[in-house]
Structure 1
Amino acid sequence: MDILTDKSRVERLEIVDTGRRRRFSDAEKIRIVEESLSAPRMGSATARRHGIA
């Protein structure tokens, strides 16, 4: 299946930007990094849980 035959493709994509930037204290940053390094949790899962891209 390619883009010419795929009927479910997105016709329009709208991006909404909140303009909000999160700020973490040093203690929160350390806790998040420690959590991401602890097994078996993966770093990407920890980032998603804390809303970090």
Structure 2
Amino acid sequence: MVKIAQTILLMRMIRNYIHIWRECKQSLLKNLERMILANKLAKLTEFSPELNTI
């Protein structure tokens, strides 16, 4: 009986861990996309001073 309870608890922990990891991965990817976009924008404004007034 104790073994079954431990197994269920372990399965729940693993499931929660996977869920948290997926959420973290999504937010990391979003942050990465934002960084890439910001970098592209910075490069654009470097080469064209008229865009710098935005």
Query: TM-score scaled by structure 1?
Result: 0.32
Query: TM-score scaled by structure 2?
Result: 0.32
Structure number with greater Rg is 2
RCO comparison, higher one (Cα < 8 Å, 6+): 1
| Structure having the larger proportion of residues in helix | 2
